[in-house]
């Protein structure tokens, strides 16, 4: 497995993040880049859940919502620094994932899909209904992270988009590093075992329920941090971040690129984040094209783009 | 490697996609699709139509306008990206858009940072209050719509009402602003219900409102299919009290959806646009609204809506400002927009100042009543 | 208690809409284990095509017939072009394919027709029927009758007809079904045609109540999916009961507790039911093959 090798993956990731800006004609590209990284982070978490453990979730945007609103609310109501608020949001997401995960993960396939979907919808409903706290569907402002100012005092002066490109890129590399380490750890092996066959894993003594829960909680933390980054970057947040479509978007990115590998899933994030930007030239045909791409990739590249491409490249080499 | 290739390829595609250099570039990010497509679609069509018209007539200050429209699908995050793209990549001199309050609020910081004038098409008062140097808007605030409705209620002696609002952005925001000022009119809310934007039946909520002792009228802030279904359920339950809808459904389409029979007697605050034909001959808005209505209906084959009117006013104000400024520099345009005086649009007569980036007063709203499937001005 | 009765009638009306959508899911699921997230688009197409055919001057029944046939054809195309080539793909890929299909259909509809909301007249007028102080619209009776009729037909189909049993056999074990001489490709095509036709019929029945527009499909699909899962996916009885239960639950919550959280209440109950009965109320027990 050339592409899952840890060092290669991280090197590719770091190299691309560092070199890409050379080709950027305007700071709008930094904005798209940072969005890719934010999505890439959530998607890396889903690699652990979908790719490693073989579980599905159509409600992870709920955790992104918790992370995002933690950054908006905790500084105001709890007096936390926005960075700490993100950590607080992640802890909250982990706790909720732990509590919800145990009953939900007993379900399989479509039943798991509808239960996680229900969870996501509940979160977004609370966010848009509790208007006194969250500003309702119109959203609310998020305080400044303030790190850019700190950097300026030590002589690093980045524009807003440049800063968020660098910062979310850094967090993504960190997240990918953790996920890759997990893959080769005993936990990772247990997860892959239960992905292959739950019953087989159970017979060889893997605590299936425990490891599923681990994957669920971890992926919730990734989604939460990605939501926090989005909120801090946009400095404004609405309940859309927790919406059903965002959940679907996250899963689609993961599976489209290749749920089995971190790099593949991030490629999925690259494609689905840039696609709407590229498709603007087709105007009214945008939705049509998006649906078509989703179908074609899943029909012809079942393992996702990257693994399929990797296999065909290897196949030719042999 | 593959990544770098993808990125370069992408940069190339985007580079090619970026339009060739034009004289005056105006950007827009609108919700042409998604839950607010109802609003964003006529807005986009209006802008495209008007720009074509202006260019055919020789452009502005002898220069052609190039319009770049993006569809944000009502997603504030997408809108933010498109706003950045308009400012940084397309290098537009001004932006119209933000169909919803959520998208508008999300993109304001981009324009304030880049010092590019921005005219929002959304309702909430937060957009222009507090005043931000580069942010303007054309629609009445929702608060003004509430005030217009409450004035009408006061006139007819209504002091106790029930509210049923959509839980979407439009309904929730208008409900909030109505409740903030309702006290000033001595009106009390006895029942406060909501419904989801895709709900199919609101009879339980209306049954509760109907069952409350003392309610004299019902107010329904919302847009899309919700108010049409509320109106139909209202007739089904034979509630029998005056029903007030919001400016969110001020279009002929609403009467069609609700059915003329169920909609009979419904009152709502609307703009002159809806009643172009029955405006008095000497009405200052008559010329503007008839011209826009005729042009739009000819170009699209669809009836005009208030929302398209907002886009109409935004573009006209912008073009007017560019002409007066005699320059297409963003800061000059900003100053000229702020100095707009006595501009007659579809929503009313606009006079902006440094403290008021909307420039409309209540007089521009007309209280309309649906009568035999058509509109009647009640004043 | 006219209020209670009114809430109940409202719940049954909405529930019948959900049940109609949920019933559409069952055939495809039974034939192929695919939950077709584009099912809501079939409902939307039923309403939209009928509206535009009617607006073009065709009488309503003819317009509805055209809509149902056209939608069935689209269902067959979906199977041939997207589902058949993806046979054996994991659940998550199939979810994405059908969601992709639904985005595609929505995009095409908005291009071909428009982005406005539409309604055509109710079949038997708008005069409410009084029942013990509560009211119901005649169109609601059409929807309820439609849901019951489709349920009954499906039940007959799956238990009394050879082809219906072939569908179940295909779902159970595709290779074994082929061995006993079932043309599984034909079974799949038929199921998609039937599901799409049921969806379109649902669209025709509910549009006078719910209105239609190019983007109404997703919300309907979600509620129908939830209803089908609540009842137990694949079982027509589950779809009917799940749909009605969901509708009544929402109406009661809106009436007695809080209209803001009625959808939340529905999902809380679904979660609770699934925790207690992981296969839904009437779902078939399944065991994993090792």
Q: How far is CA A214 from the centre of its chain?
A: 16
Q: How far is CA B230 from the centre of its chain?
A: 21
Class of domain C2-276: mainly alpha
Closest Cα in chain A, distance from residue B167 (Å): 7
Q: Is it the case that residue A318 has pLDDT exceeding 50?
A: no
For A126-170, the pLDDT digits (tens) are 998 888 889 888 889 999 888 888 898 888 888 888 999 999 999
Q: Which residue has the higher pLDDT, A234 or C265?
A: A234
Residue C175 pLDDT: 84
- How many residue pairs from chains B and C have C-beta atoms closer than 8 A? 98
DSSP H or E stretch at residue A236:
strand A236-237
What mean pLDDT is predicted for residues B203-227?
A: 92
Predicted confidence band at B165 (pLDDT cuts at 50, 70, 90)? Answer: very high
CB atoms within 10 A of CB B69: 23
Using a CB-CB cut-off of 8 Å, the residues of chain C touching A302 are: 86, 89-90, 93
Q: Is it the case that residue B14 has pLDDT exceeding 70?
A: no
Which of C10, C126, C211 lies closest to B225 in CB terms? Answer: C211
Tokens coding B378:
């009640």
Q: Judge contact between B114 and B85, C-beta under 8 A.
A: no
Q: With left for phi above 0 and alpha for psi between -120 and 50, is residue B123 left, alpha or beta?
A: alpha
Residue B28 pLDDT: 96
Q: Judge contact between A54 and A199, C-beta under 8 A.
A: no
Report chain B's C-alpha Rg in angstroms.
21
Pairing type for strands C129-131 and C134-136 reads antiparallel
User: Domains of chain B, with CATH numbers?
Assistant: 2-140+289-360 (3.40.50.2300), 143-270 (3.40.50.2300)
Closest Cα in chain A, distance from residue C100 (Å): 4
Q: Is it the case that residue C279 has pLDDT exceeding 90?
A: no
Q: Do A137 and B102 touch (CB under 8 A)?
A: yes
Q: Judge contact between C199 and C73, C-beta under 8 A.
A: no
Q: What distance in Å separates the CA atoms of residue A47 and residue A176, rounded to the nearest whole number?
A: 10
Q: What distance in Å separates the CA atoms of residue C240 and residue C264, rounded to the nearest whole number?
A: 21
Closest Cα in chain B, distance from residue C209 (Å): 7
Residue A205 pLDDT: 82
Q: What distance in Å separates the CA atoms of residue C275 and residue C260, rounded to the nearest whole number?
A: 25
Let me know the angle formed at the C-alpha of B87 by B82 and B92, rounded to the nearest 5 degrees: 110
Q: Is it the case that residue A4 has pLDDT exceeding 60?
A: no
Q: Please check whether residue B200 touches C, CB under 8 A.
A: yes
Q: Do A118 and C267 touch (CB under 8 A)?
A: yes
Q: Do C119 and B257 touch (CB under 8 A)?
A: yes
Q: Do C271 and A113 touch (CB under 8 A)?
A: no
The ranges assigned to domains in chain C are 2-276
Closest Cα in chain C, distance from residue A13 (Å): 26
Closest Cα in chain A, distance from residue C82 (Å): 7
DSSP summary character for residue B193 = E
Q: Do C270 and A255 touch (CB under 8 A)?
A: no
Predicted confidence band at B132 (pLDDT cuts at 50, 70, 90)? Answer: very high
Q: Judge contact between B79 and B87, C-beta under 8 A.
A: no
Give Cβ neighbours of residue C17 (< 8 Å, ≥ 6 apart). B200, C143, C202, C206, C209, C210, C220, C243, C247
DSSP summary character for residue A58 = S
* Interface subset of B 123-142, CB within 8 angstroms of C: none
Distance in Å from the first CA to the final CA of chain B: 70
For B237-258, the pLDDT digits (tens) are 999 999 999 988 888 889 989 9
For B66-102, the pLDDT digits (tens) are 999 999 988 999 999 999 999 999 999 999 988 998 8
Q: Judge contact between B33 and B45, C-beta under 8 A.
A: no
Residue A316 pLDDT: 58
Residue C162, CA distances (Å) to C156, C166, C182 in order:
10, 6, 10
Q: What distance in Å separates the CA atoms of residue B311 and residue B96, rounded to the nearest whole number?
A: 8
Residue A19, CA distances (Å) to A6, A151, A259, B85, C268 in order:
20, 21, 25, 21, 48
Which of A119, A129, A298 lies closest to C86 in CB terms? Answer: A298
Residue B146 pLDDT: 94
Q: Is it the case that residue C239 has pLDDT exceeding 50?
A: yes
DSSP H or E stretch at residue A90:
helix A82-104
Strand partners, C134: C131
Q: Please check whether residue C271 touches A, CB under 8 A.
A: yes
Q: What distance in Å separates the CA atoms of residue A193 and residue B31, rounded to the nearest whole number?
A: 46
- Mutate which of C211, C217, C263 to disrupt the B interface (most B C-beta within 10 Å)? C211
Q: Judge contact between B181 and B147, C-beta under 8 A.
A: yes
Using a CB-CB cut-off of 8 Å, the residues of chain A touching B167 are: 128-129, 137
CB atoms within 10 A of CB B130: 8
Closest Cα in chain B, distance from residue C21 (Å): 14
Q: Do C215 and B33 touch (CB under 8 A)?
A: yes
Secondary structure, 3-state, A98-123: HHHHHHHCCCCHHHHHHHHHHHHHHH
- Mutate which of B201, B240, B251 to disrupt the C interface (most C C-beta within 10 Å)? B201
Residue B12 pLDDT: 47
Tokens coding A317:
């080499």
Q: What distance in Å separates the CA atoms of residue C200 and residue C42, rounded to the nearest whole number?
A: 5
Provide long-range contacts, Cβ within 8 A and 24+ apart, for B52-58. B53/B295, B54/B319
Residues in chain A: 318
Q: What distance in Å separates the CA atoms of residue B40 and residue B313, rounded to the nearest whole number?
A: 15
Predicted confidence band at B365 (pLDDT cuts at 50, 70, 90)? Answer: confident
Q: Judge contact between A19 and A165, C-beta under 8 A.
A: no
Tokens coding C63:
């317009």
Predicted confidence band at B193 (pLDDT cuts at 50, 70, 90)? Answer: very high
Residue B17 pLDDT: 44
User: Domains of chain A, with CATH numbers?
Assistant: 6-317 (1.10.3470)
What mean pLDDT is predicted for residues B309-316?
A: 95
Residue C4 pLDDT: 93
């Amino acid at each position: 497995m050339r592409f899952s090798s840890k060092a290669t993956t991280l090197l590719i990731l770091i190299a691309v993040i560092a070199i890409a800006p050379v080709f950027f004609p305007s700071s709008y590209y930094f904005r798209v880049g940072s969005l890719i990284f934010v999505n890439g982070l959530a998607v890396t978490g889903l690699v652990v859940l979908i790719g490693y453990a073989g579980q599905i979730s159509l409600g992870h945007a709920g955790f992104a919502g918790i992370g995002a609103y933690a950054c908006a609310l905790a500084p105001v109501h709890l007096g936390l620094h926005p960075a700490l608020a993100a950590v607080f949001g992640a802890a909250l997401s982990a706790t909720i994932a732990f509590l919800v995960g145990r009953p939900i993960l007993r379900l399989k396939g479509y039943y798991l899909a509808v239960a996680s979907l229900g969870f996501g919808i509940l979160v977004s409903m609370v966010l848009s209904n509790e208007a006194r706290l969250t500003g309702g569907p119109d959203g609310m402002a998020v305080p400044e992270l303030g790190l850019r100012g700190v950097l300026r005092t030590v002589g690093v002066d980045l524009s807003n988009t440049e800063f968020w490109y660098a910062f979310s890129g850094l967090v993504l590399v960190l997240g990918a590093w953790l996920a890759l380490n997990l893959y080769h750890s005993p936990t990772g092996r247990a997860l892959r075992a239960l992905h292959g066959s739950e019953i087989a894993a159970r017979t060889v003594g893997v605590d299936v329920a425990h490891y599923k829960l681990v994957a669920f909680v971890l992926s919730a933390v990734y989604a939460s941090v990605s939501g926090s980054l989005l909120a801090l970057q946009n400095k404004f947040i609405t309940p859309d971040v927790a919406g059903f479509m965002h959940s679907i978007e996250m899963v689609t990115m993961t599976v489209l690129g290749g749920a089995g590998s971190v790099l593949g899933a991030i490629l999925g994030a690259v494609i689905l984040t840039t696609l709407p930007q590229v498709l603007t030239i087709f105007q009214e045909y945008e939705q049509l094209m998006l649906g078509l791409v989703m179908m074609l990739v899943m029909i012809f590249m079942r393992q996702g783009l990257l693994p399929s491409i990797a296999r065909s490249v290897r196949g030719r080499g042999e | 490697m593959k990544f770098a290739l993808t990125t370069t390829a992408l940069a190339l595609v985007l580079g090619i996609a970026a339009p060739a250099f034009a004289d005056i570039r105006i950007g827009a990010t609108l919700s042409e699709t998604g839950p607010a497509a109802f609003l964003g679609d006529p807005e986009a069509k209006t802008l495209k139509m008007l720009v074509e018209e202006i260019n055919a007539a020789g452009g502005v200050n002898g220069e052609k306008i190039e319009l770049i429209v993006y569809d944000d699908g009502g997603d504030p995050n997408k809108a933010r990206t498109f706003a950045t793209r308009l400012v940084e990549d397309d290098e537009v001199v001004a932006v119209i858009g933000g169909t919803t309050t959520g998208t508008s609020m999300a993109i304001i910081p981009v324009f304030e940072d880049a010092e590019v004038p921005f005219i929002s098409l959304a309702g909430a008062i937060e957009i222009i209050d507090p005043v931000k140097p580069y942010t303007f808007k054309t629609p009445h605030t929702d608060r003004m719509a509430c005030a217009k409705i409450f004035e009408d209620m006061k006139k007819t002696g209504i002091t106790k009402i029930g509210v049923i609002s959509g839980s979407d952005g439009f309904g929730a925001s208008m409900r909030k602003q109505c409740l903030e000022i309702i006290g000033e009119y001595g009106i009390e809310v006895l029942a406060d219900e909501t419904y989801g934007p895709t709900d199919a039946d609101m009879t339980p909520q209306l049954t509760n409102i109907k069952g409350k002792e003392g309610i004299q009228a019902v107010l329904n802030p919302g847009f899309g299919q919700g108010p049409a279904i509320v109106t139909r359920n209202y007739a089904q339950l034979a509630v029998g009290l005056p029903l007030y809808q919001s400016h969110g459904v001020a279009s002929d389409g609403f009467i069609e959806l609700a059915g003329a029979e169920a909609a009979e007697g419904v009152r709502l605050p609307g703009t002159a646009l809806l009643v172009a034909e029955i405006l008095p001959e000497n009405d200052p808005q008559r010329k503007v609204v008839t011209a826009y209505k005729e042009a739009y209906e000819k170009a699209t084959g669809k009836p005009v809506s208030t929302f398209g009117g907002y886009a109409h006013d935004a573009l006209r104000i912008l073009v007017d400002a560019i002409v007066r400024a005699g320059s297409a520099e963003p800061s000059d345009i900003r100053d000229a927009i702020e100095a707009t005086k006595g501009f007659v649009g579809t929503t009313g007569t606009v006079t902006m100042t440094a403290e008021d980036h909307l420039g409309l007063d209540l007089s521009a709203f007309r209280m309309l009543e649906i009568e035999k499937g058509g509109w009647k001005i009640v004043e | 208690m006219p209020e209670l009765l009114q809430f109940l009638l409202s719940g049954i009306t909405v529930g019948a809409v959900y049940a109609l959508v949920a019933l559409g899911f069952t055939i495809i699921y039974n034939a192929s284990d695919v939950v077709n997230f584009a099912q809501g688009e079939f409902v939307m197409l039923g309403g939209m095509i009928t509206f535009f055919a009617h607006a073009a001057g065709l009488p309503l029944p003819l317009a509805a017939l055209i809509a149902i046939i056209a939608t069935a054809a689209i269902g067959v195309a979906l199977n041939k072009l997207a589902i058949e080539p993806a046979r054996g793909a994991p659940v998550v890929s199939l979810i994405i394919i059908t969601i992709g299909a639904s985005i595609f259909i929505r995009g095409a509809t908005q291009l071909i027709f428009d982005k406005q909301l539409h309604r055509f007249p109710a079949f038997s007028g708008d005069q409410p029927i009084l029942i013990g102080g509560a009211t119901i619209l005649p169109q609601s009776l059409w929807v309820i009758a439609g849901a019951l009729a489709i349920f009954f037909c499906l039940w007959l189909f799956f238990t009394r007809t050879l082809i219906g049993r072939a569908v179940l056999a295909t779902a159970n074990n595709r290779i074994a079904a082929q061995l006993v001489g079932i043309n599984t490709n034909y079974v799949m095509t038929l199921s998609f045609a039937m599901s799409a036709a049921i969806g379109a019929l649902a669209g025709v029945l509910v549009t006078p109540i719910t209105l239609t527009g190019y983007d109404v499909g997703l919300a309907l699909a979600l509620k129908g999916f939830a209803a089908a899962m609540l009842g137990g996916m694949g079982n027509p009885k589950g779809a009917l009961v799940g749909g009605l239960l969901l509708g009544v639950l929402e109406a009661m919550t809106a009436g007695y507790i809080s209209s803001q959280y009625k959808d939340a209440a529905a999902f809380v109950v679904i979660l609770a039911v699934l925790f207690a009965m992981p296969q839904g109320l009437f779902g078939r027990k399944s065991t994993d093959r090792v």
